[in-house]
Amino acid sequence: MNYRREIDGLRAFAIIPVILFHAGFNLFSGGFAGVDVFFVISGYLITTVLLDEMIAGTFSFSNFYERRARRLLPALFFVLLACLPFAWAWMLSAHLSDFAASIFSTATFLSNFYFFSQVNYFSANAEMQPLLHTWSLAVEEQYYLLFPPALLAAFTLWKMKAIWLVAFFTVLSFYIAEYALYEGAERSFFFTGSRIWEIGAGSLAAFLINKRGVTPNNGLAFLGFIAIWIAFLGYDKSTPFPGRYALLPVLGTTLLILYAGTGTWVARLLSMRIFVGIGLISYSAYLWHQPIFAFTRLRLIHEPSWQVMLILSLSALIIATFSWRFVEQPFRGKSPWLPKRIHVYLSSVTGLLFFITIGIWAYSMNGLPERLPKNVSKLEQMTSLHSASCIQKNSNTCIIGAVGQSYDTIMFGDSHANVYASGFQQHLERNDISMGTVIGGCAPVINHIKHNPSKSDAECSALMSEQLLIASDNNEIDRIILSAEWAYYIHG
């Protein structure tokens, strides 16, 4: 495979918007599309290597996965290890429990499915997740596990006509991405099936270049470059993604791969030393920036200023340079650190099992609350609605306060009602009285008026309508308290 400097330069134009988006700079409101650029590049590079080896008859699964392990795991292990002391020192037990689950899912290459079930990528709490960004690594790792054997089987049967099979699954994945937007865009964002088409676009480009080479074309290359930047600067958190709107960064990157050959304006720009240099460290920069941002936000009471986030962004690049030079590079090729393939496999399995064990242990210990100062631990316990004295009256109503007492007050609300529940709990216990609560993550109204990512409108409407009617028909209930983040349901 011939080295293309412009591809490394293109990586720089992908990683910088991603970092600045996560740093909160509004100018790069669509910087998340940089991940789509990486997906296309990855599909192109991996498929190019696979095709070259299959055509030459030298392809080996053991060689392929050894190269992937050398390329990806040392830096990933280094970052995960560096996160542990900060998580131990700065996270409350609930946060540490979530972090442990994310470590486990990262080490098992399933973090996209974990975050799929836990967070909205664009929500505020996502910014507190140090390993949120590993979802894209999980998608690529799943691709590495499934694509090579599938391509080998297709190539053995049909040779270069295997491109049609790749094209079929690329189109199928795009259809899944489009369909998934209507089912819940926040879920589709992490879903492997909604992302494979982006990697597939790069794979198709590899087939075309293998057949006819790179065709330099200033106009098409420039068009691709502009398409990417329209996404970076024009998209934002409200943009439905990754369906049809992802076509801009994906097709733009594909055009650059196909037509930004030597001598084109775009290739000369991308091949500049500064961009190639940033591109070389882009993997480490991607790994480091999110933990740096997340732990800073966890540590500070308020959102860091733009000056702080800019310094942290530059720091991520500096740390990435160190990581690339002293962690990534020593393990590439036939490294003296791991001279034989068996050493690579053993160390990879050992590292993955270590982080899997850490994740299981910390999660099973409920985030290790005993490591916290007593006053902090007590304060955290007070924020929990379902304390030891909480008795489930039925599937939706919880009794807080004194055990065994009847109640004449019930509170309905979303998660904001939890703010009051912990305070009520102590007051109720002191006065030997009880109160009912129905807190279902929904607006406490008969007809639900705003979509909640964790529940459908129909679920919220059914829950609140049923429970409010039950309460109104209960002669023992004298007071009903309604508590919610009302502005959200009106303004979003």
Least confident window among 78-92, 163-177, 235-249, 352-366: 235-249
Q: Contact 467/397 with Cβ under 8 angstroms?
A: yes
Q: Where are the alpha helices (DSSP H) in 216-281?
A: 218-234, 247-259, 265-270, 273-280
Return the bridge partners of 437, or none: 398, 411
Write the pLDDT tens digit of every residue in 265-311.
Answer: 999 999 999 999 999 999 999 999 999 999 999 998 788 999 999 99
- In sequence order, the 6+-apart residues with CB closer than 8 A to the CB of 455 are 440, 441, 442, 463
Write the pLDDT tens digit of every residue in 351-392.
Answer: 999 999 999 999 999 898 888 888 777 777 666 544 444 555
| Res. 132 pLDDT band, cuts 50 70 90 | very high
Q: How far apart are CA 150 and CA 215, in angstroms?
A: 28
Q: Contact 145/167 with Cβ under 8 angstroms?
A: no
Q: How far apart are CA 39 and CA 195, in angstroms?
A: 8
Q: How far apart are CA 319 and CA 331, in angstroms?
A: 18
* pTM to 2 decimal places: 0.81
Mean per-residue pLDDT, 83-90: 95
| Res. 446 pLDDT band, cuts 50 70 90 | confident
Q: Hey, where are the domains in the chain? A: 5-371, 385-491
Q: Where are the alpha helices (DSSP H) in 189-217?
A: 196-212
Backbone angles phi, psi at 398, to 5 degrees: -120, 140
Q: Distances from the Cα of 67 to the Cαs of 74, 150, 152, 435, in angstroms?
A: 12, 19, 17, 61
What's the distance, CA 163 to chain centroid? 30
Closest CA to 31 of 256, 290, 307, 297: 290
**What pLDDT shows up at residue 385?**
47
Q: Contact 106/140 with Cβ under 8 angstroms?
A: no
Write the pLDDT tens digit of every residue in 109-131.
Answer: 999 999 887 766 666 677 889 99
Side chain identity at residue 80, one-letter code: L
| Res. 23 pLDDT band, cuts 50 70 90 | very high
